[in-house]
Amino acid sequence: MKNLFDLTGRVAIVTGASSGLGVEFARALANQGADIAIVARREEKLKEVQKEIEKIGVTCRYYVCDVMQTDQIKSAVEKIEKDFGKIDILVNNAGLGLVDAADKTSDEMWRNMVDTNLNGVFFFAREVGKVMLKQKYGRIINIGSIHSTVSMKGMPVTAYCSTKGGVLMLTKSLATEWAKEGITVNAIGPGYFALGMAEGVVADPEFAKIIEFMCPMGRAGQTGDLDTTVVYLASEESKYITGQIITVDGGWTAL
């Protein structure tokens, strides 16, 4: 039987790939045959992830890059294109999850959130988009959040919601602009997962009660819950889907 999600011969970039969901995304794409370029700031962590991905049997290279620095983004994308010869898939995953009350949010915190969660996503998509426009092919997957579409009572998430909401509209706008160029642009909106940025939050007994109450499935997301979604959006099977957000949250936003 044909593997509908076969990514053999494809080249995928995953940002924020030194830990958490980024590692999950890189592993999922590699398991379908894609060669992987992992991008993050922490070189030692990247080396560890590279070794893990290579054991799957695909090519994996790492690139140290701070997504708040446009010169580093340009350099990384140029190196990746040179090393692999093309770029088929971009998973824009790098992000910050800082929280504070709106009236206590410092200028620095706000700018760091915007620079990482929104500006970094745009600038990486812009540079990779230049390659994909030449190829007339590409799959861009931006990682948003349930907070791309909803806030949360009692949680100081104004900065986070603002940036992740921006990711959703950026996704729609890029999708519209590049729709006839062979490039699809979609987003994934994870709920609260027991790994990555939210791992510590989810582990808190009081917040676990909130998840049990707010999430119809009564639990946080787990390893593997996002794999099929990212693989689907990276594959040929999603070729007529663009400008959309697929929310993977156990039913949280269905309420």
Q: Rg of the chain's alpha carbons, rounded to an integer? A: 17
CA 185 to chain centre: 12
DSSP run (H or E) holding 233:
helix 227-234
Active-site option among 62, 63, 137, 160 = 160
DSSP run (H or E) holding 159:
helix 158-178
62 is an active site residue: no
| Cα–Cα distance measured from residue 57 to residue 116, given in angstroms and rounded to the nearest whole number | 32
Strands 35-40 and 89-92: unpaired
Number of residues in the chain: 255
- Would you please indicate which residues are annotated as catalytic (active-site) residues? 160
